[in-house]
Each structure stands twice: as structure tokens, then as C-alpha cells.
Amino acid sequence: MTTPLTPSHTPSAPRRLTVPEVRARLAELTVVDVRTPGEYASGHLPGALNVPLDRLERALPALRAAGGEVLIVCRSGARSARACALLAGHGIVTADLTGGTTAWAADGHELHRPAGAARATWAMERQVRFAAGALVLAGLGLGLLHPAWQLLSAGIAGGLVLSALTDTCGMAAVLARLPHNRPRAADLDTTLAALAASGTR
């Protein structure tokens, strides 16, 4: 089991790049997309490599070997900002794309999809909304049979409030461990090899 990243250095604020800045320098950047494999398959920046956020510890040697400037990307910028801070804590300087792939696409730039990719998985935010809504409805429905089931709905509501207050999401962490959100070991090995090889460019 992969253990959580534990920063070993005092992290510094990552450099934030706008879409035009990234577009102008895309060929010289090593782009790492930290979303789940399904989200990555739904569309990513040209040349981006997929290393899910919860697999970053395994990618540390490859990221150090990458050389040059590493751009971390996600859907909207929240996960990439967290990834940049964690990597900075391990002495790896990265940049962050402001607004993520959403801003990239909104600016009219193309998103690439893997050849022969399976049906894309919903974005993590959408998965969380669906799971939370389904659990609340289940709690309310089962509450008609026994009032104790309403505690399920109350628990989900409390979790959403806590998520907003702490800017974390326990449900997303759980959903990220489902098979459709996990990379195959062989795919991750290939990605890490490509990432390390980029340092020899």
C-alpha cells in the first residue's frame, strides 16, 4: 500500500502559469496530469503524462530525473496545487497551470485522448456529487422504514460541510481507490519510464 507523502523540506509556493504562458512553452515543459486515469482519458494537455495524485510518492525519483520545468495539471487547479506543494516539500520545484484543463479547453486549445481509450470516467467532482447525492437519498428513503437510517443523510451532510471548511474531501479519497480510478501497474511503470527519460532531452 502506498503511504501518504510526508514533506521533508519546507515547501515553497509553486509558480503559477497562465494558459497563454503554457501554450507558448508547451514543447519545453514536462507536463504531469495528476487526475485519475479515467479523467485523464477524457482529455488532457498534449504530451501530458498521467501520474495520479495518490501515486506521486512512487513518482518522486522519476520527477527528480525529469529535469527542466515540470508542469502539474488537473481539471481545475485544486489537485495540481496540492501536488505542487507536496512535491516542493520533497525539494522538487514545479509549476501549476492556473485553471487546469478546464481553462485550457475554454481558451480553445485541443485536449488529447489516448488512442483506443475506454469510455472516459466522470471527473472526480462529478463522482463525489453523485455518490453524496445517492447516499443522502438512500438515507432519506430508508429513513421511512426506520428513523435511524436518517443518520446516514446527516453524516453525508456533515462530511460535505467539513470538506468545505478544510478544503479536503474524504469521499474523493475513497472513490479514487475504486478500480476504474486506478492506473494499471504496467501503465504507471511506462509513464514513470517516460517521465525519467524526459530528463535526457
Catalytic residues: 74
**Rounded distance between C-alpha atoms, residue 10 and residue 20, angstroms:** 30
What's 88-152 look like in SS3?
HCCCCCEEEECCHHHHHHHCCCCCECCCCCCCCCCCHHHHHHHHHHHHHHHHHHHHCCCHHHHHH
CB atoms within 10 A of CB 87: 25
**Rounded distance between C-alpha atoms, residue 192 and residue 180, angstroms:** 20
**Rounded distance between C-alpha atoms, residue 107 and residue 52, angstroms:** 25
What are the strands of the beta sheet with 70-73, ordered from one edge? Answer: 15-17, 94-97, 70-73, 30-33, 49-50
Joined together, the cell numbers standing for residue 2 give: 502506498
- Return the H-helix or E-strand segment holding 78: helix 78-88
The answer for residues whose C-beta is within 8 angstroms of residue 186's C-beta and 6 or more apart is: none
